[in-house]
Every structure is written in structure tokens, then in C-alpha cells.
């Protein structure tokens, strides 16, 4: 992997709601009205204004993303990316997952955001296998960064070491 692109990516273990970045990405569902896991944590940390703003957006299709303010978060923006539910791999899940990453990166770039943090999209309640989702996330982000100036810094924020290990292994190889 090109050093310049790799220098723009980091992996951290922690709570995405506490990161001091321009935008955090929410692993959202199509309604954008909160759910479980990271989606729930972001809505709780951001406060009720986030839910009000999300309701005005009218939802988001799988494979796309929408942007809101950060409300009570350190991050000034939240990008809600809707990944696919994993149903065995034969239902365009990989293409939809890559598309939601590209959509989030495009929104960040269009908004002039320099730093963005992604959770492990679709690996919780949507049951996407961790290593497969990681491979798609890394390849999509690397491809984007190779041809775009923004965002300048991408963080993959994993809740546990077990979640982070595939990211660290893929990025070091």
C-alpha cells in the first residue's frame, strides 16, 4: 500500500462518540431514527436534536449516506451510512457496503471535512462477517484516498481489539 495513503489512515479502539474529528460515521438503518449498537450510542451522545434532524431527512437507502450536525458530540458532523444486512453474500452486499463508504467519503469531501471516523459498518446487528467487511472498508477507503485530497485523515474506530485486529493486519500488509 502506498505510504502516502497509509499515512492518512489510523485504527483506534474506543468509543466513536468521544472522538475529536470533523465527522463521525453512524452505522445507521434506513429510517435514520436510531437503532442499536453504535447507532444508539451516537444518538444518545448527540442528544435529541440529532433525532429531530434525522427525522427531517426522511430516511436513507441502503448503500447511501446522509449528513447532519454533530449536536452535542465533539464531532461537528455525523454522516449516517446505511450498510447492508448480510444474507450470505449473494445479494450485492459487498457492492452496497462499498457504496455506503464511498457515499460517506463523498459527503465529507463535499463539505470540506478534513477528518472522519468510521465504525465497523454492518458487522453488528446486520451480521456482516467482520473480516469481509474490513476488507471492503479498507479497499474502498484506500481507493478513495488515492484520488482525493479530502478527507485528509481517516480513522477506523473499533469497539474492541477483536474488531480492530483485521484492520491492523490488513493495513500493515
Q: In Å, how far are 67, 73, 114 from 109, measured between CA atoms? A: 12, 20, 8
- In 17-167 the beta strands, taken as DSSP E runs, fall at 23-28, 65-69, 77-82, 115-118, 153-158
Catalytic residues: 39
How far is residue 151's CA from residue 141's CA, in Å, rounded to a whole number?
10
How far is residue 149's CA from residue 38's CA, in Å, rounded to a whole number?
28
Amino acid at each position: 500500500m502506498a505510504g502516502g495513503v497509509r499515512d492518512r489512515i489510523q485504527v483506534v479502539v474506543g468509543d466513536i462518540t468521544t472522538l475529536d474529528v470533523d465527522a463521525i460515521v453512524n452505522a445507521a438503518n434506513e429510517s435514520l431514527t436510531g437503532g442499536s449498537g453504535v447507532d444508539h450510542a451516537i444518538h444518545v451522545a448527540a442528544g435529541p436534536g440529532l433525532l429531530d434532524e434525522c427525522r427531517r431527512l426522511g430516511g436513507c437507502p441502503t448503500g447511501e449516506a446522509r449528513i447532519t450536525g454533530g449536536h452535542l458530540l465533539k464531532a461537528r458532523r455525523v454522516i449516517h451510512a446505511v450498510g447492508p444486512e448480510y444474507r450470505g453474500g449473494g445479494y450485492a452486499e459487498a457492492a452496497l457496503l462499498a457504496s455506503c463508504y464511498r457515499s460517506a467519503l463523498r459527503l465529507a469531501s463535499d463539505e470540506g471535512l478534513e477528518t472522519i471516523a468510521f465504525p465497523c459498518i454492518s458487522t453488528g446487528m446486520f451480521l456482516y462477517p467482520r473480516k469481509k467487511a474490513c476488507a471492503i472498508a479498507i479497499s474502498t477507503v484506500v481507493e478513495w484516498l488515492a484520488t482525493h485530497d479530502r478527507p485528509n485523515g481517516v480513522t477506523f474506530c473499533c469497539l474492541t481489539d477483536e474488531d480492530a485486529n483485521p484492520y491492523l493486519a490488513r493495513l500493515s500488509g
